[in-house]
Structure 1
Amino acid sequence: MPRFAPHPARRPVLIAGASSGIGAATAVALAELGHPVALGARRVEICETLAEKIRADGGEAFAARLDVADTASVDEFVTAAEAALGPIEIVVSGAGDLEFGQGWTMHPDVFESQLRVHLVGAQRLAHRVIPGMIDRQRGDFVVIGSDCADRPRPGAGAYNAAKVGVEAFATQLRMELEGTGVRSSIVRPGQTLTGMGMQSTPEVVGPLLESWVKFGFARHPYMLRPADLAAAVAAVVSTPRGAHLVLVEVQPEAPLREAQQDKQSGGS
């Protein structure tokens, strides 16, 4: 007899930060697996367009405005999503943005706002959704971390601190939820091509990249695609009960070397 009942065939998913990048790609990937998806972000019109596409492709989707920096917004979104799709079985906490700047020169209000979205936003979702998961003795709470959490980069403003915090929070949840049937997991991206930070100017980004090379953070120019992280999230939540992928780090594979170079290096 199995130690755990299997996952239900139908597992409603809440995705915070679903309007672009990793969140949008994850919504599509999980919908393709047959999961109903609740898409939440401040740019609700983009979420609604994505939800329409998912439904046109045969999936089940709900979209509404979600601001994870606002407790009332989180409560309203979860209530509406569960009314539309049923109790939330999976949460993907990926809402956030990135503003470059030195840690000591960034205005404290901007620094705090980054922490409020990335870290406190994840706690708001956990506070609202995890009690129901505990009652059902199952569920997946997944945070999108960053390799900045253990390899901070210069010039990333509050992003390093926010990702260190959210990964520590997810690890804390894993210990606190042990024995409840609820799994807390981290999907940790390496350098990923998304819209975050794209509002910055070349005058800001140029010196930033130079400093990353100096400290060894840019070994090659290839970057991950959002779909690569969506695949990792799908693997985490699809793992059969009784096993738990607690941390999945995804890094971009380097460009292939020329075969002739390999032959020359091998024969020297």
Structure 2
Amino acid sequence: MAFIPHPERRPVLVAGASSGIGAATAEWLAAAGYPVALTARRVEKLQELADKITAAGGEAVAVPLDVTDDQSVLDCVAKAEAALGSLEVVVSGAGDLAVGRSYEQPVDRFVDQIDIHLNGAYRLYRAVIPGMIERARGDFVFIGSDVTQRPRTFSSAYVAAKSGIDGLVATVQMELEGTGVRAGLVRPGQTLTGMGMDLDQKTTEDMLNDWIKFGIARHGNFLGPEHIAQAIAGMIAMPRGSHMRIVEVEAEGAVPKTKH
């Protein structure tokens, strides 16, 4: 059976849209004509971005979301769909970063990271996928990380959570085969966002020295959040019947000035 093309109107929900990759993705997709539900815990930040998008001619609403709370997720999806219509696209990128050596950080901090990055993504997935399956179309994009391929010290909980995302996506891609619904994984490399920018100097120095020791810090270039937004936009714009399953985005090393 042939796939029915994407509808002209494709409402999007972006989790974690108050800053970083989520905010850049929401703004990028809104500029491309997608109606966007901006969701996160910091509603005032969401509203600022929603106002910016609407002032530029786009369509956006701000909806509170705490991915660690089951009811918050359900309420968020219901409010987003009431405002924009049935969700065609969901981008799951909510999260923060708590760093520290695995044997030094408190257990509850480790558990919290798993709940935000892995369990939170699953809560959102579970809330929207049945409706997408019923409509026989939809895109769910999980934001993973290249730490699953190149683990970084001081990030054991984050690495464990994102490795769980890799496993979850691999499984749901098989389960969704033949439903018309696509699940995709975007693995960003080092990206300049707000995550990890509030670390004290000693922790930062210890972490970076560790990364150098293990050959993790190849160069000092970082991606911008807009680079990841473009990858997400490309993934969901693929015509029906095709499936961009995994996209890895890495910062390019600087070209020596002598080569310019």
TM-score normalized by the length of structure 1: 0.95
Q: Is 2:68 the counterpart of 1:69?
A: yes
Q: 1:15 is matched with which residue?
A: 14
Trace 1:129-208 onto structure 2 (pairs within 5 A).
Answer: 129-208=128-207
Question: Matched residue of 2:187: which SS?
Answer: strand
Aligned to 2:26, the other structure's residue is in SS state: helix
Aligned position for 1:226: 225
Residues matched between the structures, number: 260
**1:171 and 1:185 in contact (8 A); partners too:** no
* Cα deviations by residue, 1:11-51 (Å, 9 ceiling, x for unpaired): 00010000000000000111011100001101111001100
Q: Take 1:171 and 1:106, find their aligned partners in 2: how far apart are those partners? A: 30
Shift of 1:177: 0.4
For residues 81 and 65 of structure 1, the distance between their equivalents in structure 2, rounded to whole angstroms, comes to 10
Paired amino acid for 2:246: L
Q: Partner residue of 2:81?
A: 82
Between the aligned partners of 1:166 and 1:173, the Cα distance in structure 2 is 10
User: Is the partner of 2:140 in helix, strand or coil?
Assistant: strand
Name 2:126's counterpart in structure 1: 127
Aligned to 1:265: none
**Alignment partner of 1:203: what SS?**
helix
Counterpart residue identity of residue 125, structure 2: A
Structure 1 position 100, deviation (Å): 0.8
More deviation in 250-259 or 186-195?
250-259
What CA distance in whole angstroms lies between the structure 1 residues aligned with 2:203 and 2:116? 23
CA distance in 1, matches of 2:132, 2:25: 21
Mapped partners of 1:258, 1:51: distance in 2: 40
The DSSP-based 3-state class of the residue aligned with 1:158 is helix
Runs (5+) with no aligned partner, structure 2: none
- Aligned-partner Cα distance in 1 for 2:115–2:71: 14
Q: Work out the CA distance in 2 between the residues paired with 1:174 and 1:105.
A: 36
The answer to whether structure 1 residue 240 and structure 2 residue 211 are counterparts is no
Distance in 2 between residues matched to 1:123 and 1:25, nearest whole Å: 22
The 3-state SS of whatever aligns with 1:165 is: helix
Distance in 2, matches of 1:38 and 1:84, equals 8
Q: Which amino acid aligns with 1:252?
A: A
SS in 1 for 2:23: helix
In 2, the alpha carbon distance for the partners of 1:249 and 1:76 equals: 32
Q: Report the CA distance between 1:259 and its aligned residue.
A: 2.5
Give the equivalent residue in structure 2 for 1:266: none
Greater Rg over alpha carbons, structure: 1
Q: What is the one-letter code of the residue matched to 2:176?
A: L
Which residue of the partner structure matches residue 117 of structure 1?
A: 116
SS at match of 2:152: coil
Deviates more, 1:151-160 or 1:71-80: 151-160
Instruction: Give the TM-score normalised by structure 2.
Output: 0.98
Q: Which letter maps to 1:66?
A: L
Contact in 2 for aligned 1:144/1:186 (Cα 8 Å): yes
* Letter aligned with residue 108 of structure 1: V
1:165-218 CA-to-partner distances (Å, cap 9, x unmatched) read 112111111011000000000010000000001111111011101111111111
* Cα drift, residue 238 of structure 1: 0.4
Between the two proteins, what is the percent identity of the paired residues? 55
2:43 aligns with 44
What stretches of structure 1 move > 3 A for 4+ residues in a row?
Answer: none
Letter matched to residue 116 of structure 2: V
**Cα drift, residue 64 of structure 1:** 1.6
